[in-house]
Structure formats: structure tokens, C-alpha cells
Amino acid sequence: MAKKLTCDNLIECGLDISTSDRLLERINPLLVSLPAAACWREISQTILTPDHPLALHQLLHNTVFADWDGVAAPAWFPAEDEIEGTNIAAVMRELNLNSYEALHSWSAHRRADFWRLMIERLGIQFHRKFSEVVDLSQGDEFPKWLVDARLNIVESCLNAPSNAIAIVCKSEVSTLSTMTYGELNVLVNRVANGFVEAGFQPGDAIGVDMPMNPESVAIYLGIIKAGGVVVSIADSFAPDEIQMRLRIANAKGVFTQDYIRRAGKQLPLYSKVVDANAPKAIVLAREGENPIELRSGDLTWEGFLSDSDQFESVGCNPHDHTNILFSSGTTGEPKAIPWTQTTPIKCAVDAYLHHDIQRGDVLAWPTNLGWMMGPWLIYASLINRGTIALYDGTATEREFGAFVQNAGVTMLGVVPSIVRAWKNTGCMKGLDWGTIKAFSSTGECSNSEDMLFLMSLAGYRPIIEYCGGTEIGGGYLTGTTVQPAAPATFTTPALGLDIVICDEDGQPADNGEVFVTPPSIGLSTELLNNDHYEVYFEGIPRLPKMPPLRRHGDGIERLADGYYRIHGRVDDTMNLNGIKVSSAEIEEVLNTVSGIREVAAIAVSPPDGGPSQLVIYAVLLPGVDTGSLHASLQSAIREHLNPLFRIHDVVVVDALPRTASNKIMRRILRDEQSS
């Protein structure tokens, strides 16, 4: 039990004397009479409010859990009635299992049974049912899922009643509006018919370089319903990056928009697509904007859309591609990762189980179709018969928070750097986020202070830390709403798979590199531009009585109490603003800057944890003006890579450390930064 607090303790947090005295009358009796978990539940649910200073939240949390040295201190504990109402509890009752640990063990050891059950519970639609859940005759590394089945996953996205709300949306200049499942289905069908009428064929790859809005959701689903393949392109990418992705995927066309609006600024989008020498473009015009002149052969959105609102979906094999996404490896060209007809099942299952998404829930996640969380959001919401909440604007501004409030968001996803911006500016103060049942966080490492702040904004709701990747189709390490949530920590490997942590000698350990144990729906089985087996399986030691381990590249630690903490990447990739990028990609751009002999790009974690910071080590040619070096390098990244990647620091050195085979030893540079 914790010690009593004094009035001075609360005054130091920014409270006045009378408020401090009044709160102490309620707080101190709890501190001395209740165990830590019960004490915090009472304080967080009946005393603390989002209007109290963050310093007070931190003081009380630290005081309650002062004796919990060396273990994670939760900031949310599920009540029994909350647990009973979850999807996980329903599955446990069906299987007659009495603990979450038993459920995870069952799902990891009986994977075919697990995926069969989840396909049934989600109501996945088939043209022809599978004869076998998975064929492992070629080994766990090469599974064949849903043998003999025919399906089109879009049918499973439009199963809710036609009058249910599929999308609630707002932009920086528009009012809140909604689209029903019936209206979305009509628009999807018009896109699918337009796909055919424009001369595209099943199997054709079509780029989508747009912000998240109702039209881009319908375009995404319409392409797939017609048997096409979406090529995901972030709307922040420079022309060089757009061109590379269209080329790798052999795209036959691209959907885009004339402009995007961010923080009141009008930013060109179609012109970047033109500069990328893209194939035929279908161009949406922002409402109220004057029409722009199109290239010969390009189409307006209105000219593309078919008048026919009925379309019979194209039946596909489970392994047929639906989406080409990109994720950086350790080479300059990003890995082109195909999602198949089965990958969306992984997205929907993670949402159903780990995020506890139920019918009618409203899901918001500031994201983009160029990042896996864009497609994830579509499938997680629609297959579970929920609502997608889309804000076309800047997520770090108060207007986004007002949208979350007014749209009745029940699950809010974040990238940690966005949360830090909210905390630093105080822009969400005074908003009512009482409809939120859970948060989720992915894309970057988070820290406990920022995540405690986030939980406090909704009167303490759990954060589902969610770590995975494009090649996972979702998460491999995450949390649940049936386990206590400690800020910036994970509680479990995802249901349906398992993990092994190995030290530098390849032996199981509590701190080291994480490996995933296949098979699982969602795990990639091919790359368009690389050898899949070599990237994920080659050179990994085999452990006794274990299936082959699959490389992922994250460093994680299993804490003494069973929680997990992520320590970032162990290879030469990094997460910047929630986007994975390789050192080689950045270096390739910066090595062309005038005055640069060579550079090395590394990601450095701040001392208190949280999003990685980009540091550039530069070897210069004689006579270079170092005063403008930072600006020159930043300009090159903005113009040729992505303006969201910000350089934290530039370090000028005489030479870069290298191995005997002349490879840059970036680990030495990272160690230097952290020392």
C-alpha cells in the first residue's frame, strides 16, 4: 500500500491549495487502505479527469505503484463485466477454456482449428468452400491456405445491413457526413464496372495515390471486387518513390486527386503523379476546386465512374493478389509484398479479438492507403460490421480531436509521434472522448509518459500496443481488453501464432531479436522483387522441437512479469513517422547532394523512449559549407523521398566505420549516439 501524499505534492503538479486539500481527502484514504490495483482503479475512474494536469496523473500513478519495482505498472484493469462482454470471452466459452493463456496456447498449437473457427465467427463469404484449412505439404514456410476455395473478400466487407453506417467522415473544410453500407456498395459497384469499361482486366495492378476518404475506400474495394490488384502509394511520396512503386508492380493505371489539403495548405497530388510518368490516371477533384488540365488519356472521376450500380464480384483463388504494399528492407529498393484474398482475414481477426471490435463500433486511425494500416482499417471495420471514421486533414490539430468526439469513435488508433504532439500542445484539452472503449498504437516505439497521457484523455481506457508489419498482415505482438494494460508495453503474442526471442548466439532468451513461428494467415509467402525464403528464413538457426523460425527484425524484451517491451529494429531499417524506411533508401538520396562524399543514416531512440529520430553521419568533400548542410539534406529528402522524414541531427565525420568487406557498421554509430 502506498504512502500518503501532502498538499505540497499536489500544488507542485499545478493545483491550487483548496483543490489539493479537497482531492487529498479522497485520495489518501485509498492509498493506505487498498491494494495497488484496486486503488488505481478507484482513483482513475472516480477522481482523476482529463482536465487535471498530466503531472498529477503521473504523481498518483507513480505513488500507487511505488512498490512495483522492476515490473510494468498497469494504468487500466478490466472489470469482470467488461471481460465477459468481449469477443475473446465469447470464444473462450465456446471452446470451454478458462484462461486467456489457455486460449493462446490452443490457437498456437491448433492453428487450422483456430482459423476455421475465426472464419466461421466472422462470416467470411465463399463462392466455393475450402476442402482443407491449410496444406503444409511443402513445409511451414510455404503454407497453402483454404485449399480449393473460391472467394472475393470484398463480399465479406459489405455484409452489414444496407442502412448501417459504413463511413463517417469530415475534412478540414467540410461538415460531418456519413455513408451507409448500401451507399458504399453502390459506389464500389460503379467503380468495379468502370474498371471493366476502362479496359482493365482481372489481375491488372492499379495504383491508388490518395488520402483516406470515402472515394478512396470505394476505389480500393471496387478494384478488388473486379479482380484487380491495388498498388498502395502514400500521398506524401515524392515522384521518384511513386514511379518506383508503379514500376515494380507493373501498374496499368492509377487513381489520384488534384490536390490534398493539410493545415489550410493546398498541396498538389496529380502533378506528382504526372512527374512520376505514371500510366493512365483517374483524377478526383476536391469539392469546390476549379478543374485542372489533365494529360491526354487521363480521366476525370466522373468520366470513369460507370452508371451501372450492379456488379457480380470476380471469384478468385485464396492466393490471388489483392494489394501490393511496400516495406523497406536493408536494400535501397523497398520490398514489394503482395496481400492475397486471405490476408484481410488476419486484419479482421486481430481487430475482432485483440481490439474487441463489435458490430456498430466506430474505428478511427490517422493513416493512408500507402501504409498497411489503411487497408487494415478498411477490413478491420467492415468485415466486423463496424464504421470507418475518416478525417481528411491534420491529425495533430484540435479539429481532429473534435472529429473523434463528434463521430462517436469507440476505437482510436494512433502513431506515438501524434500523441506526443497532442501532449506538447495541449490541443485536445476539454474534448469529450467518453465513447472511446480502447486505443491502439503502432508504427513506432512508444514511451510510458506519452501513453499514460493518452489513456487519461478518455478517462483511462486501455491501449492495445500493436506491433507487426506489412508482411504479417497485422500484428505478431499486441495486447487484449481482457488483460491489464501498462503504458508502452505488450501483453501477448497475437492469437493464431507465436514468437521466440533469441540472443546473439541464436538461443532462446528474454531479450534479443524476435522471430515469428509460422504458419499463420496473413504471413506473406512471396515477394515481387526479392527471394522470399532468403529474406525471411535463410540463415536462421533451427531450435529443437520447434518449427522453422521466421525473421522479422525487431528487438524485444520479455519483462519479469510477462509483459513485453519493443526496443526498435535490429537491422538497418527504421520507423519514421510510422513509415518503415531503410537506411539505404535515405542514403541513396543524400549521397547525390552536392558536397557529400558519403553518408550513413541511423535511427536513434530518445532516452525516455518513443518515436525514433533520424541522425545522419556525413563525410564531406573539401570546402563544403556546413552551415547549410542540414537544410540541403532535408530538402533532398523532401523532394525525392518523403517530406514526413525529418532529420534530427547531422554529424560530420572524417570517415564511416566499415567492416573488412567494406560494409558500413551502422550499429557502431547507433551505439555512439546512445552512449
How much is the pLDDT for 329? 58
Rounded to the nearest integer, the mean pLDDT of the chain is 92
Pairing of strands 498-502, 647-652: unpaired
Confidence class for position 92, pLDDT limits 50, 70, 90:
very high
Q: Which residues contact 105 (CB under 8 A, 6 or more apart)?
A: none
Q: Give the pLDDT mean for 553-563.
A: 90
Q: What is the 3-state secondary structure (H, E, C) of 469-510?
A: ECCCCEEEEECCCCCCECCCCECEECCCCEEEEECCCCCECC
Is residue 486 within 8 Å of 75, Cβ to Cβ? yes
Cell numbers linked to 579: 513509415
Return the C-alpha cell found at 238: 515524392
Secondary structure of residue 670 in the 3-state scheme: helix
Q: Is the separation of the CB atoms in 349 and 122 below 8 Å?
A: yes
Residues 6+ apart with CB under 8 A from 283: 256, 257, 258, 270, 292, 294, 298, 299, 300, 301
Query: 191-222 burial, b if ≥16 CB within 10 A, otherwise e?
Result: bbbbbbebebeeebbbbbbbbbbbbbbbbbbb
Residue that the C-alpha cell 467503380 belongs to: 191
Q: How far is residue 37's CA from residue 484's CA, in Å, rounded to a whole number?
A: 10
* Amino acid in position 362: V
Question: Other CB atoms closer than 10 Å to residue 18's CB: what's the count?
Answer: 9
* Predicted confidence (pLDDT) at residue 2 exceeds the cutoff of 70: no
Interatomic CA distance for residues 331 and 582, integer angstroms = 7
**CA dist., res. 300 & res. 282, Å (int):** 6
| Best CA proximity match to 378, nearest among 171, 674, 154 | 154
Virtual torsion, Cα 151, 156, 158, 162, nearest 10 deg: 110
Higher per-residue confidence, 656 vs 27: 27
CA distance 629 to 105: 54
Q: How far apart are CA 396 and CA 428, in angstroms?
A: 9
Q: Specify the pLDDT at position 331.
A: 55
- Least confident segment among 66-70, 159-163, 670-674: 670-674
Cell of 510: 528474454
- pLDDT 10s digits, 167-212: 999 998 889 999 999 999 999 999 999 999 999 999 999 999 999 9
Specify the range with the lowest mean pLDDT, choosing from 159-168, 495-504, 644-653: 644-653
Say if CB 338 and CB 526 are below 8 A apart: yes
Helical (H) or strand (E) element with 177: strand 177-180
Strands 467-469 and 474-478: antiparallel
> What pLDDT, in 10s, does the model give residues 586-623?
887 888 888 888 888 888 877 766 677 889 998 888 88
Q: What's the distance, CA 348 to chain centroid?
A: 14
% of residues, the chain, pLDDT over 70? 97
Kindly report, residue by residue over 14-37, the tens digit of the pLDDT.
Answer: 999 999 999 999 999 999 999 999
Q: Are 503 and 510 in contact (CB under 8 A)?
A: no
Three-class DSSP category at 428? coil
DSSP H helix total and E strand total for the chain: 22, 30
Look at residue 661 in the predicted model and tell me its pLDDT. Answer: 47
Dist CA 130 CA 400 (whole Å): 43
Mean pLDDT of 644-665: 78
**Residue 226: is its pLDDT beyond 90?**
yes
Mean pLDDT confidence for 555-577? 83
